[in-house]
Structure 1
Amino acid sequence: MSIARDGNTSRGSVLAFEANFDGLVGLTHNYGGLSTGNLASAANATAISRPKEGALQGLAKAKRLADAGLVQGLLPPHERPHLPTLKAIGFSGSDAEILAQAWKADPALVRNVSSSAQMWAANAATVSPAADCSDGRLHFSPANLLTMPHRALEASQTERSLRAIFADTAQFAVHKALPYQPLFADEGAANHMRLCANHGEAGVEIFVWGRNGFGQQETRFPARQTLQTGEAIARRHGLAPARVLHLQQSRKAIEAGAFHNDVVAVASLQVLFCHEHAFEDRLGAYEAIKRACDGLMEVAIVEVPEAEVPLADAIKSYLFNTQLLSVPGEDRLVLIAPEECRENAATHAYLETLVASNGPIGRVQFVDVRQSMRNGGGPACLRLRVVLDEGKLGALSARAVLDGSLYDDLVAWVNRHYRETLGPDDLADPALLLEGRTALDELTQIMHLGSDFYPFQRG
């Protein structure tokens, strides 16, 4: 089955293309087990992490896509540990003294302010392409991530990152995060999908929610995204109501450890690839998608049956937390999957059958992102999808698009500054704080982010 495409092979002749902006793995990448409902994170709590290996794995994945002819961008890591938070809650003195006081008072607190979870750029923001927005600009809404304390620290620096890279207000609109209250709990693009005939044409945006903010929590694990969040973002982005859907995530999936929709579903162009238990009202969701897409495209729904891939296997292997891509020179979509999908018998057997069929997904490419996977983040977690055209690509304000030169610079930077290993107690080491600041100060020069990008640079 051949799918409609927008020809990413020659960017000079296309209207628009989908770029992926991956989060750079931070210097404090560790296994704190901080994310309730994320089974992989909980299983690996207190394990020894390998920050350098994680950063190099992430860069290698990004380079592979850039080498395939796709536009690949990068988002810088945040400063961690986040001392402004510790100062705000009463710790004082020198930076080293603040860190020591906080560790003595509550090591769990230091682990939260030292999280490198911002590496998962799919949670950074929700993005609506210009073709969908009433003002013709590309819109970003940074996620408030308020459900988890360690992630709720991220929104202001994410906004600063987006404003540094997408600074041209004639082309881009970067909003502030939604209000920090449970009614508007927002986890970003991990709960957002888009279907379209071509990236540069109007599409259908799908917001997936786990709970109604005015109702009661109905699952044992947190349902992190609210219905009201999607409604608010659709309004502020100026989306046409007829081309917006708000679908409820399956309670069964949340209870099984699918803390975000992108653990059970992924979409690209006209294709929705999902598990049988992705949506609470499965048939109703499919019918609503087909109605919304009517007149724009013929949507292809590739549903993976529970009988072939049990939900537990899909979540353990991150079968759906994959990148579904239109690769230059290929008539069918390519699925970028973690090595764990090859190692899991059920998912590997299913993927072989999928590729052998004449469906819209024609090839699977496996990548090693084990440092991310052990904390509960697959290839899709590491990227934020941004639809650009040549004008918008040329309007970017920082050195954030990966090419051979930037890749070499970043690999050398990682090798200079990142630790080989990091244990839970290493987060109390004041030297780690200084190492991080030295590295991040250099990174702002490499990526042309300005001299006041991080809190420590602003005093």
Structure 2
Amino acid sequence: MNTQTAQTAQTAQEQQEQEQQAQQTVQEVNFDGLIGPTHHYGGLASGNLASSRNALSRSSPKQAALQGLEKMRTLLNMGYPQGFMPPQMRPDLSVLRRLGFSGSDHQLLNRAAKEAPALLSMVYSASSMWAANAATVTPSADSNDGRVHFTPANLLTTAHRAIEHEQTFVTLNAMFPDKERFAVHPALPAIHRFADEGAANHTRLSADYQSPGVGLFVYGRDTNTDLAALTFPARQSREACEAIARQHGLRHAVFLQQSRHAINAGAFHNDVVAVGNGPLMFFHEQAYEDKARDRAFGELNQWLPLQSLCVPASKVSLSDAISSYLFNSQLLAAMNADGSADMNNMCLIAPSECADNQAVKTYLNELLTDHSQPIRQVQFVDVRQSMSNGGGPACLRLRVILTARERAAVNPAFMLSDEKINSLQDWVKRHYRDELVPADLADPALFDESRNALDELTQMLGLGSFYGFQQA
């Protein structure tokens, strides 16, 4: 064999090895909720302090959607695979019809506006934008059958969100159509004891993305919880967590109860007081009861080298943590040149409110000088329209761990590129209103605008008759 032939053979072998390595690469993919054209502040969520504080104030659907798309672009430009979930059709007139309203679509809206404006706000809610509540996800490395599992959250604690899961089921099946690689389950029964709020109360922890991990399920109540001691609803039940772990065939699951103090302070989901990724758990000192936390973290340490980063209340009060949404940041592992995750080099994608809060800002500055922990960078993003309704950067995304083959099986219509983000921004600018107040929901033109916008969106994405009104 001559020198040139040998070099060619070596190059071919190297390329083959690189391709095999790429196929084995496991990455985090975030699917953000695209904020819909009826984004408004209805104050519909009990226990969500920002939602209550801004109830009935003026919103900007256009600004909200553009802010969300820019956050998606931020991650895309950092090299992370980024997808999205389309808005659900709002208003959901089928709910009003089931509640006894009748007539044409416009007649239905007019009657609801006069007789039950709170119901009108409910069926117009754009809350499906918070994709962290869309479902609970188990990666294929953690499930008995080697598939990625999804269970839409029933969200039954709040009426405006309880109407989402049927469309979420349809959306997830459209996004993840390969039944050999993905399993999309129906939501749990809409029964109080199985109340489920999705990934906002679930954290997948692992040594790295390739290794089998542990599902950490956080719940607000079990059969022993004194509900009378709670100021706000404990939205997630332990029985729901256990049911999802069974449904997904999860190999390792740990269950941890959120502290009553955190719930009463306004931490309606665990992702308001904690965030985790890889082996790192970043949480507030008062997120959990001490004994429960020690027991759960002890279990986690049996399966992975857990790194716990506890933020003391003496540095960041629970009130500051909740108002700034420090823990509703996205915790991202940096990517190596081969696409694998570097768990020793992490970044927080934090809401700009964290930079505005002096205690939180001081803490983050100190954190970046502490190299005993892996967070090396903080990047602030402006999602103020979402924050004003009680959802930060982490609320807006559903995180899914996927192998290269699984990523290739995702419906490409729901994956983003810089060009597609530009197209979606142009679409938003054409169809969304600059301002919206709850009284505007009575305007039949808003109904027509929303349908027209979503009809065009499905044409842009090649989704066909995706929404119920298109099928009718």
TM-score, with length taken from structure 2: 0.92
Distance of 2:256 and 2:276 partners within structure 1: 14
Q: What's 1:257 paired with?
A: 266
Q: Match of 1:254, as an amino acid? A: I
State the Cα deviation string for residues 58-111 of structure 1 (Å, max 9, x = none).
000001101111011100000111100011111111100000011111111100
Q: How does 1:46-195 map to 2 (within 5 A)?
A: 46-195=56-205
Q: What's 2:366 paired with?
A: 353
Match of 1:333 among 343, 346, 359: 346
**Structure 2: tracts of 5 or more residues without a match:** 1-19, 337-341
Q: Percent identity among equivalent residues?
A: 52
How far off is 1:215 after superposition?
A: 5.3
Distance of 2:224 and 2:464 partners within structure 1: 42
Q: Match of 1:271, as an amino acid? A: L
Distance of 1:178 and 1:213 partners within structure 2: 18
How far off is 1:290 after superposition?
A: 3.5
| Cα 1:214–1:455 shift into 2, 3 Å | farther
Q: What's 1:457 paired with?
A: 470
Match of 2:328 among 298, 321, 328: 321
- Where 2:398 maps in the other structure, the secondary structure is strand
CA contact (8 A) 1:308 1:346 kept: yes
- Where 1:336 maps in the other structure, the secondary structure is strand
How far off is 1:337 after superposition?
A: 0.4
| Cα 1:82–1:299 shift into 2, 3 Å | same
- Where 1:332 maps in the other structure, the secondary structure is strand
CA contact (8 A) 2:23 2:405 kept: no
* Structure 1 runs, 4 residues or longer, greater than 6 Å off: none
How far off is 1:201 after superposition?
A: 1.7
**Structure 1: tracts of 5 or more residues without a match:** 1-9
Q: What's 1:291 paired with?
A: 299
State the Cα deviation string for residues 379-417 of structure 1 (Å, max 9, x = none).
000000001111111111241111122111111111111
- Where 2:52 maps in the other structure, the secondary structure is helix
Q: Match of 1:256, as an amino acid? A: A
- Where 1:402 maps in the other structure, the secondary structure is coil
Q: CA RMSD in A?
A: 1.4
How far off is 1:216 after superposition?
A: 4.9
CA contact (8 A) 2:254 2:299 kept: no
CA contact (8 A) 1:398 1:449 kept: no
Q: What's 2:408 paired with?
A: 394
Q: What's 1:4 paired with?
A: none
Q: Match of 2:350, as an amino acid? A: A
Q: What's 2:222 paired with?
A: 212
| Cα 1:11–1:307 shift into 2, 3 Å | farther
CA contact (8 A) 1:186 1:224 kept: yes
- Where 1:443 maps in the other structure, the secondary structure is helix
Is 1:228 aligned to residue 239 of structure 2?
yes
Q: Match of 2:238, as an amino acid? A: L
The number of residues matched between the two structures is: 445
CA contact (8 A) 1:28 1:116 kept: yes
Distance of 1:391 and 1:27 partners within structure 2: 34
State the Cα deviation string for residues 160-190 of structure 1 (Å, max 9, x = none).
1100010110010000000001010000000
CA contact (8 A) 2:257 2:292 kept: no
Distance of 1:87 and 1:11 partners within structure 2: 54
Query: Quick check: 262-271 or 404-413, which moved more?
Result: 404-413
Is 1:381 aligned to residue 402 of structure 2?
no
CA contact (8 A) 1:398 1:448 kept: no
TM-score, with length taken from structure 1: 0.95
Q: What's 1:304 paired with?
A: 311
